[in-house]
A and B are shown apart, each in its own frame.
Chain A
Amino acid sequence: MLVPWQGGPRRATAWMRGREQRLAGTIVEFDRVGLRYGTGAEVLRDLDFRLNEGGFYFLTGPSGAGKTSLLKLLYLAQRPTRGRMSVFGDELAHAPREALPLYRRRIGVVFQDFRLIRHLSAFDNVALPLRIAGHGEAEVEGPVREMLAWVGLADRASARPPTLSGGEQQRVAIARAVIARPELLIADEPTGNVDAAMAQRILHLLTAMNRLGTTVIVATHDLGLIAATPGAQLIRLENGALVDPTGALRNPPGRPAEQGA
Chain B
Amino acid sequence: MQLVGMERAGTASVLTARGSGLVTCRQCTRVWPMATEICGRCGTKLRSRDDLSMQKVWAWWLTGVIAYVPANLYPMLETRALFDTQDSTIVGGAVDLLLHGAPVVALVILIASVLIPVGKFLAIAYLAVTVGRRAQTRNADRHKLFEFVEFIGRWSMIDVFVVAILSSLVQLSSLATIKPGPASLAFAISVIATMISAQSFDSRMIWDTGFPPKAPQA
Partners in one complex: no
> Which A residues are closer than 8 A to B by beta carbons?
none
Could you tell me which B residues sit within 8 Å of A by CB distance?
A: none
